[in-house]
Structure 1
Amino acid sequence: MSIGLYTTAQLRAIEQAAQATLPAGTLMQRAGRAAAKWIDARLGAARKVLVVCGPGNNGGDGYACARELAARGHAVECIALDESVTDDARDARAAWQRSGGRVLHELPADRRCDVVVDAIFGIGLARPLAGGYVEAVRWIESQAAFVVALDVPSGLDADRGVWVGGVAGVHADATCTFIRAKPGLYTADGCDAAGEVVVDGLGVDAPEAEGALSEPDQFEALLVPRRRNTHKGSFGSVAVVGGGLGMVGAPLLAARAALRVGAGRVYVDCIGAPDLRFDLAQPELMFRSLASLAEIDAIVVGCGLGTDDAAAGALAAAFERSVPLVVDADALNLLADGSRFSGAFEAHAAGRVLTPHPLEAARLLGTTAREVQADRIGAARALARRTASIVVLKGAGTVIAHPAGRWWINATGGPALATAGTGDVLAGMIGAFIAQRIEPVQAALAAVWLHGRAADDHGGDVGLVAGELAVRAADLLARLRGKDAQA
Structure 2
Amino acid sequence: MYVVTSEQMRALDNYTIRRIGIPAIALMENAGKAIAEEVLKLCLERHGGSRLPSTAVARTSGSDQACLPEEERCDRPTSLSGYPAAAEGPSTGNERVIEMSRPSPVIDGDARLPTALAAQEHWLILVGKGNNGGDGVVAARHLRDAGISVTLLYAAEPSALAGEAAVQRDAAAALGIPALVHGRAAVDYGAYTGIVDALLGTGATGAPRGAYAALIQAANDSGLPIVSADIPSGLDADTGARHEPCISAAVTVCLAFLKRGLVQYPGAGAAGRVVVRSIGIPASLCREQGVGTHLLTPHVLRTELGADVSRRRAPDGHKGTYGHVLTVGGSRTMSGAGLLASRAALRAGCGLVTWALPASLVLPLSGAAPEVMLAPATEEESGGYWNEASAEQVLALAKSRDVLAVGPGLGRFEGDARWLRRLWEEWEGPLVVDADALNMLSAAGDFGTWKPRAAATVLTPHPGEMSRLLGIPTAELQRDRIGAAAGFATGHGVTLVLKGAHTVVASPDGQTYINTTGTSGMATGGTGDVLTGIIAGLLAQGHAGPSAAALGVWLHGRAGERAARHRGHPASVIAGDVIEAL
Alignment partner, residue 15 of structure 1: 13
Q: Report whether the alignment pairs 1:332 with 2:411.
A: no
> Take 1:245 and 1:178, find their aligned partners in 2: how far apart are those partners?
54
Structure 1 residues 55-102: Cα deviation after superposition (integer angstroms, max 9, x where no partner): 211111111111111110112222212234322222222222222211
Q: Distance in 2 between matches of 1:431 and 1:462?
A: 27
Q: Which residue of 1 aligns with 2:346?
A: 259
Q: Output the amino acid matched with 1:214.
A: L
Please say which of residues 304-313 and 66-75 is displaced more in the overlay.
Answer: 304-313
**Aligned-partner Cα distance in 2 for 1:349–1:64:** 54
The 8 Å contact of residues 244 and 273 in structure 1, kept in 2 or not, is answered as no
Letter in 1 for 2:440: L
SS of corresponding position for 1:274: helix
Tell me, in whole angstroms, the C-alpha distance in 2 between the residues paired with 1:275 and 1:168: 57
Q: Is the 8 A contact 1:358 1:372 kept in 2?
A: yes
Instruction: Tell me the equivalent position of 1:212.
Output: 294
Gaps of 5+ in 1: 475-487
1:80 pairs with 2:185: no
1:459-484, Cα deviation, whole Å (9 max, x unpaired): 45432211111222x2xxxxxxxxxx
Deviations 1:386-420 (CA, angstroms, capped at 9, x unpaired): 22100111122211111211111112224222221
Question: Secondary structure of 2:538's partner?
Answer: helix
CA distance in 2, matches of 1:279, 1:148: 57
Change (3 A) 1:168 1:241: farther
Q: 1:439-458, CA deviations, whole angstroms, 9 ceiling, x for partnerless residues?
A: 11111111111112222342
Question: Does the CA-based 8 Å contact 1:243-1:249 persist in structure 2?
Answer: yes
Shift of 1:168: 4.7
Q: Distance in 1 between matches of 2:362 and 2:415?
A: 15
TM-score, scaled relative to structure 1: 0.90
2:2/2:286 contact within 8 Å kept: no
Greater shift, 76-85 or 463-472, is seen at 76-85
Partner of 1:456, secondary structure, is helix
* Cα offsets for 1:226-281 (capped at 9, x unmatched): 12212111111111112234211211111111111211111222349634553655
| 2:458 aligned counterpart, secondary structure | strand
The alpha-carbon distance between structure 1 residues 53 and 423, as it changes in their structure 2 partners (threshold 3 A), is same
Q: Which residue, 117, 121, 124 being the options, matches 1:50?
A: 124
Alpha-carbon contact 2:332-2:361 (below 8 Å) kept: no
Give me the identity figure in percent.
37
Whole-angstrom CA distance in 1 between matches of 2:319 and 2:122 = 62
Pair 310,38 (structure 1): closer, same or farther in 2 beyond 3 Å? same
> 2:180 is matched with which residue: 79, 85, 104?
104
Pairs aligned (count): 468
Matches of 1:362 and 1:24 in 2, distance apart? 42
Distance in 2 (CA, whole Å) between partners of 1:272 and 1:129 is 61
Shift of 1:433: 0.4
- Which of 160, 165, 169 is residue 89 of structure 1 equivalent to? 165
RMSD: 2.2
Structure 2 partner of 1:484: none
Give CA deviations for 1:334-365 in whole Å, capped at 9, x if unaligned. Answer: 1111335555x425322201111222222212
Change (3 A) 1:105 1:347: closer
The separation in 1 between residues aligned to 2:23 and 2:468, in whole angstroms, is: 51
State the SS of the aligned residue for 2:365: coil
Distance in 2 separating the partners of 1:445 and 1:243: 25
Asked if structure 1 preserves the Cα contact closer than 8 Å seen for 2:467 and 2:473, the reply is yes
Task: Name the SS of the counterpart of 1:79 in structure 2.
Answer: strand
Check 1:277–1:264 CA distance in 2 against 1; reply closer, same or farther (3 A cut). farther
The match for 1:192 among 258, 264, 269 is 269
Bigger Cα displacement from structure 2, 123-132 vs 134-143: 134-143
Query: Does the Cα contact within 8 Å between 2:417 and 2:441 map onto a contact in 1?
Result: no
Asked if 2 retains the 8 angstrom alpha-carbon contact of 1:335 and 1:342, the reply is: no
